[in-house]
A and B are shown apart, each in its own frame.
Chain A
């Protein structure tokens, strides 16, 4: 049977591709706008955005975008989608009584309650930094005592952030946490996110939806790896590292910290570790300084340094280190993320500390061993 084979000429193929391109542009004009808005600032975005915006406006009368967004919301309603934003829209659309999602280990509830809305927004106009930057964070942190939880109740810890939390650190924390009693970890991170580009991923709206009914006692946050870039707000471009950029970013960090603390949680801000690339490391160092200044100005938030744990004696990047007496690679091959072994060094201090806030007697012996230097 050869009937399934058909050969076409270049001309015929061009016709087919032409139909595809035209239809794809019509059907996906809204998606293309989203895509262009998320591009890094630069020539590609500068060229693409006006084009796709014009296309989107031009085909708006056809109502195809409504079809697409309705389909996404409907898919969320029937449980196909896992996109918190779509789920929230579906719930709003259906006006059904929201069910209370129970937090299960290692999963994010899919049904955000409508009550928890972001109350803190970034000030649209940047001013000078609210407080002068207090310098580089220390190589090592002294972790203070944080409020305990009632006996018999688990301490809920939300793991928040971008891929600095998602890759290496979160999986290690989740794997190690069963060694500690009464500690429940909940994943609320999103790779590829950050605070510099809310049009890409807006933590102010996404975080409540991702958190759902969970009320964390502690929030561990590692974020900012994607923020070493300029951004546009209200049509104004802020170049990375400029005074205006620093001011704007500091306010976003403040707003984010306020959001995390809004439910009464203690926020533990995990420092971004030293990076292999010098240029990138310099950008991350600035972000760390801003984060550190904001955290220091908070009465409740705790700063957790990593440079002394996974860096060398000067807090600079190192690829290898000693983990449980054995040489191990501390970082992923990208020179950015923590490897599982590197994350063990970070978790080794954090988890016993979180567990010890209840009662040192409750720390199992294996956990104590982990906590030992």
Chain B
């Protein structure tokens, strides 16, 4: 590696003049990845103990399901608490629409309350990170000296990454180092404090970095105000599980008054209903009745159940995260803001590149623009491109969680992407003939889906031992004892629902658009009622909360 640490960080961040003119083209669309908590998936109910501990555990309980146990103070989307909170915010925010600054102050305070109801202890951290990024971004924007802008950018990004590293990777680094030490001798056991992982820290740190990057690259041309920067990082619908907004796209929305005559209420209601359906019914049913039992003790199950559980987790994680995104987008829409699309039927992808253009799009494009391209992207030859892909995906895996299983997952994605590049670049006659077959896209979809599922095994398994047992049990014949009809139905909807034509959704939206808005409210109320009744007891926290 050439140069100092500052050069390295700078290179990672921007890939500028020194590394060639920045290209705005969407380089490859490959990258991506997401978060952790994952392992636990579904069963951690909110506990009073957590309340005592300032709700530090993300363990939450229940949801829409009023029948379920636990008493949550955390602001999970499908809770009564969040519904009340959001209605109050909505009722106050719109009368303030004419007073742009006051409205933003109100939304900022509401966002801190939202975060504080999980843990007030970490609200100062959120404020500090966003304030630090805002001050640094302002310094970059006000400086005309290129060198100084670089230095400030480097300090800003390094500061943000240090916060993330301390809270998220201290234990991982320490334990990995001790593991290596153990290979050559008896490693000591230190009883060090283990930092608690603040909720959504990966997301708000990435927002802070996006702010610095966009200002440095002059993507954000408007003068940055402190209030806009703070609200951009802390805006509650995206605060704890994304989607990762671009500063250059969202801050301009904050700067202008919201148009009180252009709210897409029918679309927002549909998004909220779809999100609740995915999370409460699909994701939670699969989590509690299929995925958790198998991943907890895979040795007890045979091929049928294990295969079903792997498919089940593929559907669960998609419905969990895209459900969260839908609700977040719907809530933001009702407040007058637009969020980018985060999922686009990822399991219909025909190849790894296609998959990463459909899965967690806001993160994959973030990694592309702030990591892959600065590393050189595909501009420096084949070997360099492959290396960049691997680095991007390995770090993307690590972003999801401080565990080697996540690194393995990221590595697999990198291998898939590199393998696909080799395949796509092949000029062999047999390959070309194969790709020209009518049925090839469908075979590709099946292959791609199973490649993704292989990755999910490592993503979901707490240890390599569990992943190994899961894969081993695939070879042990046995039926699917957990294939109850609710499991099969939810699994089918979770996976094959992605093949539903977009026109269907548009058709429902068009139908709702023709109805009076009051009827839309009726549809939402009935939908929530049906989802609450159908939902299982004990709704798990969203999988991406702790990433």
Contacts and interface: CB of A to CB of B under 8 A. Distances in A.
Interface of A: 1, 3-10, 12-24, 27-28, 30-32, 34-35, 38-40, 68, 71-72, 75, 79-83, 85-86, 104-107, 162-163, 166-167, 170-171, 174-175, 177-178, 187, 190-194, 196-197, 200-201, 225-229, 275, 277, 279-280, 283-284, 312, 318-322, 325-329, 331-337, 340
A106 B293 contact: yes
A228 B182 CA distance: 40
A335 B73 CA distance: 18
Interface string B381-414: 0000000000000000000000000000000000
B538 A8 contact: no
Given A8-B517, A163-B43, A191-B47, A320 B529 contact: no
Given A283-B52, A327-B175, A75 B66 contact: no
A320 B525 contact: no
A28 B293 contact: no
Contact of A226 (B40, B47, B62, B301): B47
A70 to B, nearest CB: 10
A261 B73 CA distance: 35
A81 B510 contact: no
B307 interface: no
Interface in B181-202: 182, 186-194, 196-197
13 contacts: A6-B264, A10-B97, A23-B521, A107-B481, A166-B45, A175-B298, A190-B69, A191-B59, A196-B48, A197-B71, A277-B53, A319-B191, A320-B190
B533 A75 contact: yes
A229 B52 contact: yes
B246 to A, nearest CB: 23
Given A72-B67, A322-B189, A326-B178, A228 B521 contact: no
B90 A319 contact: no
Contacts of A283: 52
B460 interface: no
A336 B191 CA distance: 16
B66 A31 contact: yes
B439 interface: no
B263 A336 contact: no
Contacts of B426: none
Given A15-B521, A80-B534, A319 B513 contact: no
Interface in B202-232: none
Nearest to A105: B300
A163 B267 CA distance: 38
B427 interface: no
Interface in B511-547: 513-514, 517-522, 524-526, 528-529, 532-534, 536-538
Contacts of A75: 533-534
B28 interface: no
Interface string B475-489: 000000110111000
A334 B74 CA distance: 14
B56 interface: yes
Contact of A334 (B50, B266, B288, B525): B50
A4 B94 contact: no
B484 A79 contact: yes
A38 B70 contact: yes
Nearest to A178: B299
Most interface-central of B62, B334, B482, B524 (chain A CB within 10 A): B524
A167 to B, nearest CB: 6
B262 interface: yes
Interface residues of B, number: 98
A83 B194 contact: no
Given A174-B296, A340-B463, A7 B529 contact: no
A82 B288 contact: yes
Contacts of B299: 175, 178
B432 interface: no
The 10 residue pairs across chains A and B that have the minimum distance between CB atoms: A192-B45, A31-B66, A19-B521, A192-B70, A191-B45, A334-B57, A174-B297, A23-B525, A6-B513, A20-B521
Contacts of B90: 17
Given A19-B521, A334-B53, A312 B296 contact: no
A5 B301 CA distance: 48
Contact of A16 (B56, B67, B71, B521): B521
Contacts of B187: 326-327
Contact of B269 (A5, A16, A320, A326): A16
Contact of A27 (B45, B48, B513, B525): B525
Contacts of A83: 67, 536-537
A201 B536 contact: no
B67 A166 contact: no
A71 B533 contact: yes
B302 to A, nearest CB: 11
A170 B43 CA distance: 12
A165 B59 CA distance: 14
A193 B70 CA distance: 7
A169 to B, nearest CB: 11
B373 interface: no
Contacts of A336: 47, 49-50, 53, 57
B196 A192 contact: no
A312 to B, nearest CB: 6
Interface string B277-303: 000000000001100010011111100
A344 to B, nearest CB: 10
A282 to B, nearest CB: 10
B44 interface: yes
Contacts of B174: 320, 327
Given A320-B194, A322-B189, A336-B53, A192 B46 contact: yes
Given A10-B260, A17-B521, A106-B300, 13 more contacts: A7-B262, A8-B266, A18-B518, A19-B518, A19-B521, A68-B533, A171-B297, A191-B47, A193-B69, A277-B52, A320-B190, A333-B57, A336-B53
A4 B510 contact: yes
Contacts of B269: 16
Contacts of B536: 81-83
B171 interface: yes
Contacts of B265: 6, 8, 12-13, 16
B538 A191 contact: yes
A308 to B, nearest CB: 15
B51 interface: yes
A335 B196 contact: yes
A177 B189 CA distance: 28
B61 interface: yes
Given A15-B518, A327-B175, A200 B49 contact: no
A191 B72 CA distance: 13
B506 interface: yes
A107 B483 CA distance: 13
Contact of B261 (A9, A71, A107): A9
Contacts of A15: 517-518, 521
Contacts of A275: 49, 53
Most interface-central of A4, A35, A163, A187 (chain B CB within 10 A): A4
Nearest to A25: B525
B462 interface: yes
Contacts of B260: 9-10
A19 B525 contact: yes
Contacts of B188: 327
Nearest to B190: A320
Contacts of B485: 79
A328 to B, nearest CB: 7
Given A3-B513, A81-B536, A334-B50, A175 B297 contact: yes
